[in-house]
């Protein structure tokens, strides 16, 4: 069956007023962990869209005290893009993809009877690719995440915490200049600094714990057992024939649960 926009979109629209300051827009983006807000006029109609890239453009203008004053006076109306590109929820998803490419935008406002009902973005289409792939559940390599969050040993712990927050990851992998795994910094490692405060001289080397690794060809049962036995949420995936090389990825409790939740998983039959 051909996917329609409504099959892939995110329902609901996050908005701000045209009078919202850059600071207020930044707070809303951070609170909702999103990249864009639709800007509404005094009558509640969508007048434009403002993104995190628009905020960065405004920030770059604040090179001195005088321009900083100007920047603080900018509103969503000053930085937003308009008109807003939209798509009806009942058209084929392929048509929405075509519009995104032609318009060179990252997202489209989804409408029903010309009223906003949601958003469809590049991220939604990327997510649909993984859903279309037939499930395999034999080895760690079938399920692991190829993308990992890493930092060098000299990274300040505040920077690591910021990276974890922005990415939504529970931990960051610490590597040396050649990519060899040195350890892991998790949320638990950072908890004590909530009470004690952060010493700016501390780096991730000072707080990291040893990383648990698993071979890419190991079974999911082996991965699950290792996670359970050690009360860890994530394992670093390596090639056992070259354990000192840059890690191949990571497998987490979430990866295994997500696999269990797939419609074609043995857990759903």
For the cut 70, the answer to whether the pLDDT of residue 59 exceeds it is no
Once rounded to an integer, what is the mean pLDDT over residues 163-175?
87
The confidence band for 18, taking pLDDT boundaries of 50, 70 and 90, is very high
Instruction: Judge if 5-129 and 140-261 fold alike in CATH terms.
Output: yes
For the cut 80, the answer to whether the pLDDT of residue 186 exceeds it is yes
pLDDT at site 45: 93
pTM of the model: 0.57
pLDDT at site 1: 41
Residue of 269, 240, 264 whose CA lies nearest to 137: 264
- Could you report how far apart the first and last alpha carbons of the chain are, in Å? 21
- What is 5-129's CATH number? 3.10.580.10
- Using DSSP, state whether 115 is helix, strand or coil: strand
Residue 86: strand pairing partners: 109
Measured CA to CA in angstroms, residue 245 lies from 22, 155, 202, 214, 248 at distances of 43, 20, 26, 13, 9
pLDDT at site 132: 58
For the cut 70, the answer to whether the pLDDT of residue 37 exceeds it is yes
pLDDT at site 41: 93
Q: Which CATH architecture has domain 140-261?
A: Roll (3.10)
**Residue whose structure tokens are 């001195």:** 64
- HSE-up (13 A, CA, CB side) for residue 237: 24
Residue of 247, 139, 121, 128 whose CA lies nearest to 183: 247
Q: What share of the chain is helix, strand, coil (3-state, %, to 5)?
A: 40, 25, 35
For the cut 60, the answer to whether the pLDDT of residue 139 exceeds it is yes
Q: What is the mean pLDDT of the chain?
A: 85
Once rounded to an integer, what is the mean pLDDT over residues 195-214?
87
pLDDT at site 247: 93
| 172 vs 66: which has the higher pLDDT | 172
Residue ranges per domain, the chain?
5-129, 140-261
User: Helices (DSSP H) in 116-172: which residue ranges?
Assistant: 122-132, 140-143, 157-167
Please report the DSSP string for 74-89 in residue order.
-BHHHH-B-SPPEEET
**Each residue's pLDDT tens digit, 75-128:** 999 989 999 999 999 999 889 999 998 888 889 999 999 899 999 998 888 777
């Amino acid at each position: 069956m051909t996917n329609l926009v409504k099959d892939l979109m995110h329902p609901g629209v996050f908005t701000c007023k045209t009078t919202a300051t850059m600071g207020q827009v930044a707070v809303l983006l951070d609170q909702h962990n999103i990249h864009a807000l639709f800007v509404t006029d005094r009558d509640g109609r969508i007048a434009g869209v403002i993104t995190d890239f628009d905020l960065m453009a405004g920030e770059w203008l604040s090179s001195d005290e005088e321009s900083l004053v100007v920047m603080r006076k900018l509103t969503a109306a000053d930085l937003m893009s308009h008109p807003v590109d939209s798509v009806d929820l009942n058209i084929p998803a392929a048509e929405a993809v075509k519009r995104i490419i032609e318009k060179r935008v990252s997202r489209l406002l989804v409408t029903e009877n010309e009223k906003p009902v949601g958003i469809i973005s590049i991220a939604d289409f990327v997510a649909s690719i993984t859903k279309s792939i037939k499930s395999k559940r034999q080895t760690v390599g079938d399920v692991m995440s190829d993308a990992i969050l890493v930092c060098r040993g000299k990274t300040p712990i505040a920077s690591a915490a910021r990276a974890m927050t922005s990415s939504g990851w529970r931990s960051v992998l610490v590597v040396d200049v050649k990519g060899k795994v040195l350890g892991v910094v998790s949320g638990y490692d950072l908890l004590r600094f909530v009470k004690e405060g952060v010493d700016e001289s501390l780096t991730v080397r000072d707080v990291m714990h040893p990383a648990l690794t698993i071979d890419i060809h190991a079974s999911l049962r082996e991965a699950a057992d290792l996670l359970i036995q050690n009360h860890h949420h994530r394992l670093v995936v390596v090639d056992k024939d070259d354990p000192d090389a840059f890690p191949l990825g990571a497998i987490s409790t979430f990866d295994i649960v997500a696999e269990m939740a797939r419609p074609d998983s043995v857990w759903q039959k």
